[in-house]
């Protein structure tokens, strides 16, 4: 029975986690059961005659261990809190650094001998053609006599570098600008090699480099639509596909208001993707408003296909003033799938 409980617990946890993170449009599916079949490899020396017996029916009621039930309770409470506002318009604060700067590159210092350290420093993580890749090397506590930087495609491992250049610098700070070439596309590996105390050291890190599949060209006039301020974002799409656009809404003095998100299947050419800001998020902020910090993704169409990215012609677009009081006061209503997820978590917490 103890073994059976472990199997059932693993199955339930796997189902719950998959259910929790699923953002597809598929309907809720019941959890799958898990079974273990044990076989005896020792063959009998002679056949045995077994009389047929009526099958017995036994009902077993399994309950989740208390720590797991408590975890589901916390998940249910957190998800219920999220459903108080629409997912397409989530409030932002100055503490949401990863959302305010989603393309930030975070340097990771590498410890060297005698307390020294070195790190690769990049202006961002994701680049769009024809942007150059600016690479900096910072070394503390160690005299470096020379440094070079190279860029490899991670799609063709073991190949020659796409480009390799000598870095310029001194006193622990080295830099190089690698100008883009047409064949730069996909995940890349940045490597920096330097010499210190007669030894060669190499640091590596990863970036994304892509030819934009779509470009944000501007923003149309904002208007009221029910309880939402609707922001039409203009795009020039080079590759049709399923796109997701994320952008941050700010006040004119750069105070963050909300993370806005929308997804749709887009055709090639000039199209419009509408972002919406919910009244409950806008209520305490006055215009004029600014839209910035864009992340435009072309989602994979088939398994194994890589996510591709677009970019914006401008880093920010001014939206002007807007009469928030013109929006209706109708409360936000989660959709059927969101309610099913919440009910599932609540049921698991109660078991």
State pLDDT tens for residues 57-94.
555 545 556 666 667 666 665 665 566 678 899 999 99
**What does the pLDDT read at residue 77?**
59
Contacts of 34 (CB under 8 A, 6+ apart): 7, 8, 10, 11
Residue 284, Cα to own-chain centre: how many angstroms?
28
Rounded mean pLDDT, 288-297: 96
Share of the chain above pLDDT 70, in %: 71
Question: pTM of the entire structure?
Answer: 0.72
**Residue 210 predicted with pLDDT over 80:** yes
The Cα 79–Cα 342 span in angstroms is: 7
**What does the pLDDT read at residue 156?**
79
Burial per residue of 316-335, b for 16 or more beta-carbon CB atoms within 10 angstroms, e otherwise: bbebeebebeebeeeeeebe
The Cα 93–Cα 142 span in angstroms is: 40
**What does the pLDDT read at residue 9?**
39
- Among 24-38, 213-227, 312-326, name the one with the lowest average pLDDT: 24-38
The residues of the chain that CATH labels 2.60.40.10 are 116-210, 212-326
- Among 261-265, 270-274, 280-284, name the one with the lowest average pLDDT: 280-284
**Residue 98 predicted with pLDDT over 90:** yes
**Residue 112 predicted with pLDDT over 90:** no
Fold (CATH) for 212-326: Immunoglobulin-like (2.60.40)
* Burial tier of 191 (Cβ tally within 10 Å: 0-12, 13-18, 19+): middle
CA-to-CA separations, 121 to 97, 136, 207, in angstroms, rounded: 18, 5, 12
- Among 59-73, 119-133, 162-176, 182-196, name the one with the lowest average pLDDT: 59-73
**What does the pLDDT read at residue 171?**
82
Length in residues, the chain:
351
**Residue 216 predicted with pLDDT over 90:** yes
**Residue 218 predicted with pLDDT over 80:** yes
**What does the pLDDT read at residue 145?**
84
Residue 232, Cα to own-chain centre: how many angstroms?
24
CATH architecture of the domain 116-210 equals Sandwich (2.60)
- Among 142-156, 267-281, 334-348, name the one with the lowest average pLDDT: 334-348
The Cα 4–Cα 8 span in angstroms is: 6
Other Cβ atoms closer than 10 A to 297? 18
**Residue 254 predicted with pLDDT over 70:** yes
- In the 8-state DSSP scheme, what is residue 129? T
**What does the pLDDT read at residue 275?**
97
**What does the pLDDT read at residue 52?**
47
**What does the pLDDT read at residue 167?**
95
**Residue 39 predicted with pLDDT over 60:** no
Region for residue 270 given its phi and psi (left: phi exceeds 0; alpha: psi -120 to 50; beta: otherwise): beta
Contacts of 243 (CB under 8 A, 6+ apart): 214, 237, 263, 264, 265, 266, 273, 296, 297, 298, 299, 310
* Burial tier of 238 (Cβ tally within 10 Å: 0-12, 13-18, 19+): middle
Res. 198 pLDDT band, cuts 50 70 90:
confident
Rounded mean pLDDT, 238-250: 97
**What does the pLDDT read at residue 199?**
87
**Residue 13 predicted with pLDDT over 60:** no
**Residue 264 predicted with pLDDT over 70:** yes
Residue 236, Cα to own-chain centre: how many angstroms?
24
Region for residue 3 given its phi and psi (left: phi exceeds 0; alpha: psi -120 to 50; beta: otherwise): alpha
Other Cβ atoms closer than 10 A to 144? 21
Rounded mean pLDDT, 296-301: 93
**What does the pLDDT read at residue 114?**
82
């Amino acid at each position: 029975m103890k073994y059976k409980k472990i199997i059932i617990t693993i199955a339930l946890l796997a189902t719950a986690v998959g259910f929790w993170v699923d953002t597809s449009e598929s309907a809720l599916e019941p959890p799958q059961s898990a079974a273990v079949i044990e076989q005896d490899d020792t063959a009998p020396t002679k056949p045995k005659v077994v009389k047929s017996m009526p099958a017995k029916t036994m009902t077993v009621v399994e309950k989740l261990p208390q720590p797991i039930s408590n975890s589901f309770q916390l998940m249910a409470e957190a998800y219920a809190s999220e459903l108080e506002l629409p997912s397409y318009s989530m409030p932002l604060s100055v503490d949401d650094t990863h959302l305010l700067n989603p393309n930030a590159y975070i340097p990771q210092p590498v410890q060297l001998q005698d307390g020294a350290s070195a790190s690769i420093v990049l202006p961002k993580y994701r680049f769009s053609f024809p942007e150059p890749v600016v690479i900096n090397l910072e070394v503390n506590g160690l005299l470096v006599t020379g440094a070079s930087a190279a860029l490899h495609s991670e799609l063709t491992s073991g190949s020659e570098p796409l480009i390799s250049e000598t870095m310029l610098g001194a006193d622990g700070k080295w830099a190089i600008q690698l100008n883009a070439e047409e064949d730069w596309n996909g995940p890349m590996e940045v490597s920096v090699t330097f010499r210190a105390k007669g030894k060669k050291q190499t640091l590596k890190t990863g970036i994304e480099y892509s030819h934009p599949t779509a470009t944000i060209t501007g923003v149309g006039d904002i208007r009221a639509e029910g309880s939402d301020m609707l922001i039409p974002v203009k795009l020039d799409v080079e590759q049709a596909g399923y796109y997701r656009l994320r952008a941050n809404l700010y006040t004119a003095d750069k105070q963050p208001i909300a993370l806005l998100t929308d997804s749709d299947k887009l055709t090639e050419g000039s199209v419009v993707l509408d972002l919406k800001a919910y009244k409950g998020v806008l209520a305490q902020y006055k215009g004029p408003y600014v839209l910035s910090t864009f992340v435009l993704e072309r989602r994979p169409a088939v398994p194994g296909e890589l996510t591709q990215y677009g970019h914006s012609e401008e880093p920010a677009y001014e939206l002007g003033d807007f009469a928030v009081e013109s929006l209706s006061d109708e409360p936000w209503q989660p959709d059927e799938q969101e309610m099913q997820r919440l009910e599932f978590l609540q049921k698991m917490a109660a078991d």
